[in-house]
Each structure stands twice: as C-alpha cells, then as structure tokens.
Chains A and B, each alone.
Chain A
C-alpha cells in the first residue's frame, strides 16, 4: 500500500510558511493564505507534520 501523503487542514492553517521552508520536495505551496500539499510531489517524509507549530498538518485520510 502506498504511504499516506501529508495533508493541511485549511481550518487550522495560519499561513506562517514554516512547512514550505523545510519541505525537501518543494511540495507545498501557499495558495490564498493556506498551505496546500501537492499530493504527487509529497514523499511522506513527515518533516512538515512535525514542524507545524499548531498541528495543522496530518495525513490524508486520517
């Protein structure tokens, strides 16, 4: 089974951009003041999930 991909909960994101700055895949964009993960680029490394100061990033389907 494919690994789950990172997913930003829009309702929680406060747009600091921390996740974007550490993503080794350059897979996160800021669109309309919300971070958005590019599903295809994400390699499930979990760096963004750990970095988010308010826990706004989890895994798809969870």
Chain B
C-alpha cells in the first residue's frame, strides 16, 4: 500500500486535513484506532459559529442548539454576560460531536480519502532515518503503509510526534483533566452556555453547563492536572451538581472523561511529517476550545500536502508552509491566551470577583475571550502591563 499521506486519527483535525489534501489531488488514507468515527465523544461540544465559514459540514444534523450567548459566574456568583444581542448574530453552537465528526469524515471520503477503522498506529516506518510511512495494527494484522507524509492528528496523547523526535509530553500545569455528564430531566431552561469559576469550584479551570436541548445539558468540569489529586475532577463535579436542585434531579445519558492541552503551541512540522489539532496543541489555553483551530489548521495542512505532492517535495522546508499559515492565523492568539491563563491562575477568588463586578454591566460587542481581555484592560489598564513581566520572570 502506498499513499501520498497517511493520517493518524479521524477527529476534526484528521478528517479536515484529509479532505483538503484529497481535494488537491493527493491519495490519502485515514487510520483510526476506534471502531467508530467520533465515538466515544471526548468533548464539551461547544463551537463558534465561525465553523460555518469553512463549509466543511453539510446540513444541520450535527447541531444540538444555537447558543444565545455565554455567562461567566465568578466565585461569589457575579455574572458577566456575552449576549448575541450585542455580539451581532455570531455566537456559537452546542453540537453532537459524534455526528459532527462523522460528517467531517464523510466530507473527506467524498473527496476521495480512504478510512481504515480498528487500526492502531504502532510506529513510523523509516528507511535510512527518513520517514517512509507507518506501521499499523489492523484488527489482528500488522501492516506497513508507505506514505510520503505522515500526519499526526492523534489527539492530546499524540505518539506520532514523539516517534519523530518532537517533544509532546505535557507538563501537568499545561493539561486540563475533565469529566462531563450529559444530564437529562433537568430544569435548566437557558439558551446560554454557562461557565463557573473559582478555586473551590474548579481549581485552574471551570465548570460548564452547555444546553443541548429543552431538558438536556452537558455539565462538565476541567481542572488543571497540577492542582489535581486522584479522582478530584469527578468529586468536584458531583459536588457542583449536588448543590443545585435543578441539576441534581437529572439523570445521566452519558459520562465521559477528557484531557485538554492548555499549552504553548509546539513544533508541528518535520521532514515527511505534520502534527495537527490537539496533537499540535492547537487549543485556546483559556477556554480549552480546539475545534475551530483544528479545522482551520486541517485546511492549511491539507492544502500544504496538496502542493507538496505537486512538487514531489516532502522535506520540512516544504511542509513549513503549513506551520507558517496556522501560526499567522491564530498562533498569536494562542500565545496571548496562554499568558492570560497564567495571569488568571495567579488570581485569588476575591480578585476574580472584583474583576467580574467591574464587567457585570458591560456590553460585549464580540463573542470571544479577546473581547473580555480587551474590556478588562480598558477597565484595569494596569492589569496586563503589571502582570505580564512578572509572569515572564517567574518562568525564567
């Protein structure tokens, strides 16, 4: 078997990379270790409406609800509201991530990409030190798949990058460890996505409630792994739910765990190899959201592979085009939000309450973390200026 590109992982990053590479004429194979694309879901299932701009999804089956906005609750319950009313019409969707992933994979298949399930990547194939493909375990069979480019779209625990010598191990302070219930029979009739902050609620992270329908919502928690002890995320989430009668009466339809990299971006290219999505840490360190950036990066990765196939050049210099494109598009934002994450981690609950109080009547014009940061800097000019150099010193 010989392909132009073999892609490890059929999540959004992998499928979108495959779609654009196939569309550009590349012969593409996706290998997926699971038995079904998109299952189990490992996600809070929120995404910005900007996803529509990429035109990689057909129909609306993947949408559970359209958000009216977001509310952020500080430790003492002070509420900040980002409402669609002021943010134009663009907010976000709560999605069915399994259907969403399958739609993206279908899009890739329609452009000609092949998919193999039950296929675990075992190692890179190398010849004289050069990457020439991938060894996989397909059911009980070991196969060598030759390819000019190997794409690691293998998620937070990416091993593809490691095999190529890229350091992908996360420090515990760069990982959110998560649990989520999809609860039904709840009294949570709100079209807003809610975020709850506080050291006692979710140290180094937040609890979220994302409505998925009339009486269904994803209720989850992410805490920083460096502030975690065994099983703490689940204990805190159970405590949060038990304290709220409107949620406590609910019954779970699904329980999942998750791991979300909240790290600085890493090297995403080497000779004959690319990393995309969570594997490349293309995740907003403040929100933990990575769907949009995975899709955008997947588009650049696929297009870059298409051009590499045309030129028949697969060295890091040729593939670097991909890294340049995604860093230009959102690399700066990820870095800025990483710095902001560190600043937030340093804040006492009291400080968060004070900041929330100063923004409680603020009319945000955009539905983004940047609009919150901008508002905070407007209200407290000293905040970022003061803290950024401090953080840099603390890290040096």
Which residues of A have CB within 8 Å of B178? 16, 18, 53
Assess A58 versus B169: contact at CB under 8 Å? Given A16-B258, A17-B157. Answer: no
Q: In the bound complex, how far is the Cα of B178 from the Cα of A53, in angstroms? A: 6
| A-facing residues in B142-156 (Cβ within 8 Å) | 155-156
Q: How many inter-chain contacts with C-beta < 8 Å in the A-B complex?
A: 94
Cβ of B306 within 8 Å of any chain A Cβ, yes or no, is: no
Q: Select which of A17, A18, A21 is within 8 A of B169 by beta carbon.
A: A21
Tell me the complex Cα distance, A50–B254, Å: 24
A41 at the interface (CB under 8 A from B): no
How far apart are the CA atoms of A56 and B169 in the complex, in Å?
A: 20
C-alpha gap A60/B193 in the complex (Å): 41
Instruction: Indicate whether A33 sits within 8 Å of B34 (C-beta atoms), given known contacts A17-B155, A26-B162.
Output: yes
Contact of A50 among B158, B225, B255 (CB under 8 A): B225
- Known contacts A18-B156, A21-B175, A30-B157; A55/B256 CB under 8 A: no
In the bound complex, do residue A53 and residue B40 qualify as a contact, i.e. CB atoms below 8 Å apart?
no
Residue of A nearest to B226 (CB): A50
Is residue A37 contacting chain B, with contact meaning CB distance below 8 A?
Answer: no
A side interface size, CB within 8 A: 24
CA distance A31 to B155 in the complex (A): 15
**What 0/1 readout, one digit per residue, does chain A (40-59) give for beta carbons within 8 Å of chain B?**
00000001011111110110
Q: Is B225 within 8 A of A14, CB to CB?
A: no
| Range class of the B interface residue count | 35 or more
Chain B residue numbers with a CB within 8 Å of A31 are 120
Which chain A residues lie closer than 8 Å to B230 at the CB level? Answer: 49-50, 52, 55, 57-58
B225 and A54 contact, CB distance less than 8 A: no
How close is B90's CB to chain A, nearest CB, in angstroms?
31
A51 contacts B228, C-beta separation under 8 Å: yes
Partner of A55, one of B234, B255, B259: B234
In the complex formed, the residue of A with least CB distance to B227 is A50
B231 contacts A52, C-beta separation under 8 Å? yes
Interface string of B152-190 (1 = CB under 8 A from A): 000111110010000011111001011100000000000
- Which residues does chain B contribute within 8 Å of A14, judged by CB atoms? 40, 255-257
Query: Are B169 and A53 touching (Cβ within 8 A)?
Result: no
Determine if B231 and A55 form an interchain contact, defined as CB atoms under 8 angstroms apart: yes
Known: A54-B233, A54-B234. A47 touches B172 (CB 8 A): yes
Contact A21 B170, CB 8 Å, known A30-B33, A53-B177:
yes
In the bound assembly, the distance between CA atoms of A26 and B169 in angstroms comes to 8
CB atoms of A50 and B228 under 8 A apart: yes
B250 to A: closest C-beta gap in Å: 19
List, in ascending order, chain B residues with CB within 8 A of A17's CB. Answer: 42, 155-157, 259
Do A22 and B179 touch across chains, with their CB atoms under 8 A apart?
A: no
B172, A16: Cβ atoms closer than 8 Å: no
Max count, chain A CB within 10 A of own CB: residue among B120, B231, B261: B231
A15 to B141, CA, bound (A): 23
For A14, give the chain B residue with the smallest CB separation. Answer: B257
* Shortest CB distance B253–A (Å): 15
> Taking the nearest CB of chain B, how far is it from the CB of A57, in angstroms?
7
B229: Cβ under 8 A from any A Cβ: yes
9 contacts between A and B (CB under 8 A): A17-B156, A18-B156, A18-B225, A23-B169, A26-B162, A30-B33, A50-B228, A53-B178, A54-B233
Q: Which 7 A-B pairs have the closest CB atoms?
A: A55-B231, A18-B259, A53-B233, A17-B157, A20-B157, A16-B257, A14-B257
